Amino acid sequence: EEQLVESGGGLVQPGGSLRLSCTASGFTIGSYFMSWVRLAPGKGLEWVSGISGSGGSTYYEDSVEGRFTISRDNSKNTLYLQMNSLRAEDTAIYYCAKNNIVVVSAQDHSCMDVWGTGTAVTVSS
């Protein structure tokens, strides 16, 4: 069974840092694009960041660009999100997700088919 387990969340003061981890089992993360997605209190899902299977390409939502860094250690089958200069508006449940590629009508389509249970990040003084 394919599973993802996040860790590293917690309470941090504004301006502080946290590193989230996401460990996979049942599949090799190096074969997939991986994403971080968050759900803030009273808000909807927000895609935060993504990384290619090789780790050579990274992508960020505008509000976290320059503050967050996504990375992966394929030897540990683990995805990371380094979060610096944290703000109150970064308070959320953070999920990691596997982006599967499915072929439909000869086109490659990406969808997030495996999700972790999430780790809570609270930014408050």
Partner 1 sequence: DIQMTQSPSSLSASVGDRVTITCRASQIISSYLNWYQQKPGKPPKLLIYAASTLQSGVPSRFSGSGSGTDFTLTISSLQPEDFATYYCQQSYFHSRTFGQGTKVEIK
Q: What residues line the site for partner 1 (CB under 8 A)?
A: 35, 37, 39, 44-47, 50, 57, 59, 61-62, 95, 97, 99, 102, 104-105, 107, 109-113, 115-118
The Cα 68–Cα 61 span in angstroms is 10
Residue 37 tokens, joined: 């997605």
Q: How far is the CB of 78 from partner 1 (least distance, A)?
A: 18
Beta carbons within 8 Å of 108's beta carbon, 6+ residues apart: 101, 102
The Cα 26–Cα 60 span in angstroms is 27
Q: How far is the CB of 90 from partner 1 (least distance, A)?
A: 17
Taking the least distance from each CB to partner 1, the nearer of 57 and 85 is 57
Taking the least distance from each CB to partner 1, the nearer of 17 and 117 is 117
